[in-house]
Amino acid sequence: MPFKNACFISYRHGQKELMETFVRDFHKALENEVVPLTDLEVFVDWGRLTGGDFFNPALARALCESVCLIVVFTPTYFSNTHSYCAREYKGMEMLETQRLNLLGNPADKEHGLIIPIVLRSENSLPQEVKDHRQYHDFTKFSLVEKRLTKSREYAPTVRIIAEYINDRYRALSVLSNDPCEGCETFALPTDDEIRPWLTGMLAAPAPFPGR
């Protein structure tokens, strides 16, 4: 089963107009860059913008059929009371471990499949993510900004993200083992399964300034 999506954009509902504007704008900008490279789609659960976080088995399959996960981070992304985004994150971590293990080139194994984008509050990004993931800073984005496709500040970053996704796609798509095997039955980890990890991550102290 081949990949269907270049990436899956994961975000928490809320932040009202800010989140809706950013997700729609980022999706369009990234799709403009990534589709010509991969001929794959950029997946977004549009219902989440207005309907909140609801369990949908189809989303688990869409995640599994995606090369990468893009995390649109705000301070409420990892939440003890609304754990759906954390389950998506942990689900892609599981897929990432499986897929990187299939790669023969050691250099390819060093490039993860989760791409955090910090929309608000970089200081709130968990240290576990900072220590293991290269993230992109979009904290200056505002509702009065130019669209990302025309932004001198952000358009180059969107292109870098698209090229990174393309590199991961090229490495995974030539494997003799199907990286999407089992996607039709893939399920996100349950709330109970991620609870110890999520609680520990949220309780971890912030590093001293400058570290």
Mean pLDDT value of segment 12-19: 78
Which residue, chain included where needed, has tokens 């800010």?
A: 18
Q: How many CA atoms lie within 13 A of 125 on its CB side?
A: 23
Please return the burial class of 181, using the count of CB atoms within 10 Å of its CB with bins 0-12, 13-18 and 19+: exposed
pLDDT at 211: 42
pLDDT at 210: 47
Nearest to 9 by CA among 205, 161, 157, 186: 161
Question: Given phi > 0 = left and psi -120 to 50 = alpha, else beta, which region is 111?
Answer: beta
- Full DSSP string of 140-193: T--TTSPPGGG-TTTHHHHHHHHHHHHHHHHHHHT-SS-TTTTGGG--PPPHHH
pLDDT at 23: 92
Average per-residue pLDDT in the chain?
A: 90
List, in order of start, the domains of the chain with CATH numbers: 5-203 (3.40.50.10140)
- Does residue 10 register a pLDDT over 90? yes
User: Which residues have C-beta within 8 Å of that of residue 185, sequence separation ≥ 6?
Assistant: none
Distance of CA 27 to the CA centre of its chain: 12
pLDDT bin (cut points 50, 70, 90) of residue 81 is: confident
- Does residue 162 register a pLDDT over 50? yes
pLDDT at 29: 95
Q: How far is CA 72 from CA 20, 92, 99, in A?
A: 12, 14, 23
- Does residue 144 register a pLDDT over 90? no
The predicted-structure confidence for 100-133, as pLDDT tens digits, reads as follows 999 988 988 999 999 999 999 999 999 999 999 9
Positive or negative torsion for Cα 118, 134, 165, 153: positive
Residue with more model confidence, 26 or 209: 26
pLDDT at 55: 62
- What whole-number distance in Å separates Cα of residue 6 and Cα of residue 57? 19
Instruction: Give percent above pLDDT 90 in the chain.
Output: 69
Nearest to 9 by CA among 58, 42, 57, 52: 42
Residue with more model confidence, 82 or 67: 67
pLDDT bin (cut points 50, 70, 90) of residue 146 is: low
Instruction: Give percent above pLDDT 70 in the chain.
Output: 91
